[in-house]
């Protein structure tokens, strides 16, 4: 089994299963073209905890909990649970924040970009182009010696913190305690946050994905990085499989239910805008942030489940970044009829600041390594 997961068919199998399950989650209740979206789901969790007060995107998404717990189970079974950390933690936290800001300008993470394309949303093409460009810039820094330093072994308790937080979130999702009038835990009554599959079903799907992704090292950023850096297509097969199986499943669902799950267009797409420049720029910022941090948002969750404290800080940075995005009007706004949406001027400025931060970091971390060599 270990040999299979490590083979070329491992990521392909994981990607295919993720694509099918993500499409089915829409049938089971999740928003259209949003069967799985790490950025959107972490934003919903931030809203449920009161980190922002946008009433339509507040819900503790069990899929995110499942990603971490499924990865934890796989790591424990195959003896890959290795608590570690200490590799520029504050920088990783900020990279998580800027990754989320960029993703919410586009309105989705790399996984959702693929799922939106599988549902016919052509705006995803601009986002995927931005993702490739952002990762490509990160690859240039890597070739020049970019590094945040090595992580070091940590006490066992450190590796259990993120799984414990996820268990805490699960308990909050199950029991939904009331902490006071107009206080968390919040749950949307309309909008994307109100659209979700059953809690147990979402949790199980998340755990299956987390288990498979941990074993196969599934990563959308890593797939593109490896092609650009080494010409290695090992992980890319999984990304292509996700896209194709999600598209095929959407086609089957359209035929079986009579409800269109595929609609090729730039306009009229669910929870999306057709502002091409900012679809590209937002995901370029996200892609560069992912590259500098060493993994896409899904991969960061899976590594956190293995005991990686640096990945856990990136995840927490994304959740805090979601709060910032909605509290300060940085997130993109969906199209409204013939009115093109996109980010406000504040969101545009935030993308510029994020790109500047990432570029400065890329140069500074590279130069520091050169100085150490001397």
Q: What pLDDT shows up at residue 370?
A: 46
- Tell me the residue ranges of DSSP E strands in the chain: 84-85, 152-153
**Which structural domain, as residue segments, surrounds residue 313?**
2-373
Report the C-alpha gap between 204 and 318 in whole angstroms.
23
Contact between 54 and 189 (Cβ < 8 Å): no
Q: What pLDDT shows up at residue 366?
A: 86
Stretch 26-38: mean pLDDT: 98
Report the C-alpha gap between 14 and 4 in whole angstroms.
11
Q: Of 82, 80, 88, which Cα lies nearest the Cα of 307?
A: 82
User: Would you place residue 368 in the very low, low, confident or very high pLDDT band (cuts 50, 70, 90)?
Assistant: very low
DSSP label at 152? E
Q: What pLDDT shows up at residue 26?
A: 99
Q: What pLDDT shows up at residue 2?
A: 78
pLDDT digits (tens, 9 = 90+) for 154-205: 999 999 999 999 999 999 999 999 899 999 999 999 999 999 999 999 999 9
Stretch 197-221: mean pLDDT: 99
User: Would you place residue 369 in the very low, low, confident or very high pLDDT band (cuts 50, 70, 90)?
Assistant: very low
Average pLDDT, the chain: 97
CA angle 229, 279, 140 (to 5 degrees): 20
pLDDT surpassing 70 at residue 373: no
Report the C-alpha gap between 98 and 20 in whole angstroms.
30
Report the C-alpha gap between 83 and 310 in whole angstroms.
10
pLDDT surpassing 50 at residue 101: yes
Report the C-alpha gap between 123 and 96 in whole angstroms.
24
Number of domains composing the chain: 1
pLDDT digits (tens, 9 = 90+) for 108-137: 999 999 999 999 999 999 999 999 999 999
Q: Phi, psi (5° rounding) for residue 121?
A: -80, 105
DSSP label at 263? -
User: Would you place residue 372 in the very low, low, confident or very high pLDDT band (cuts 50, 70, 90)?
Assistant: very low
Stretch 226-242: mean pLDDT: 98
């Amino acid at each position: 089994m270990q040999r299979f997961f490590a083979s070329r068919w491992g990521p392909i199998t994981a990607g295919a299963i993720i694509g099918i399950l993500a499409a089915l989650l829409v049938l089971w209740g999740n928003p259209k073209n949003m069967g799985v979206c790490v950025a959107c789901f972490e934003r919903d969790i931030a809203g449920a905890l009161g980190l922002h007060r946008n009433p339509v995107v507040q819900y503790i998404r069990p899929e995110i909990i499942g990603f971490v717990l499924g990865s934890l189970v796989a790591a424990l079974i195959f003896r890959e649970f290795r608590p570690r950390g200490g590799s520029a933690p504050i920088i990783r936290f900020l990279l998580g924040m800027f990754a989320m800001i960029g993703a919410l300008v586009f309105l989705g993470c790399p996984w959702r970009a693929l799922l939106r394309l599988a549902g016919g949303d052509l705006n995803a093409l601009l986002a995927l182009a931005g993702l490739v460009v952002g990762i490509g810039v990160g690859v240039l820094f890597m070739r020049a010696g970019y590094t945040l330093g090595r992580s070091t072994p940590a006490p066992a308790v450190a590796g259990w913190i993120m799984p414990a937080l996820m268990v805490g979130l699960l308990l909050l999702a199950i029991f939904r305690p009331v902490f006071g009038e107009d206080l968390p835990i919040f749950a949307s009554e309309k909008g994307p946050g109100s659209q979700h599959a059953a809690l147990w079903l979402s949790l199980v799907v998340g755990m299956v994905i987390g288990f498979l992704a941990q074993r196969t090292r599934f990563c959308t950023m890593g797939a593109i990085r490896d092609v650009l850096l080494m010409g290695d297509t090992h992980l890319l097969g999984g990304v292509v499989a996700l896209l194709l199986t999600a598209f095929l499943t959407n086609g089957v669902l359209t035929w079986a239910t009579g409800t269109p799950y595929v609609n090729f267009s730039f306009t009229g797409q669910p929870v999306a805008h057709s502002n091409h420049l900012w679809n590209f720029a937002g995901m370029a910022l996200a892609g560069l942030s992912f590259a500098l941090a060493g993994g896409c948002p899904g991969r960061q969750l899976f590594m956190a489940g293995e005991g990686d404290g640096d990945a856990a800080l990136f995840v927490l940075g994304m959740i805090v970044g979601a709060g910032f995005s909605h509290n300060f009007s940085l997130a993109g706004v969906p199209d409204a009829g013939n009115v093109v949406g996109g980010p406000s001027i504040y969101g545009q400025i935030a993308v510029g600041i994020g790109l500047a931060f990432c570029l400065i970091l890329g140069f500074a971390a590279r130069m520091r390594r050169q100085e150490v060599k001397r």
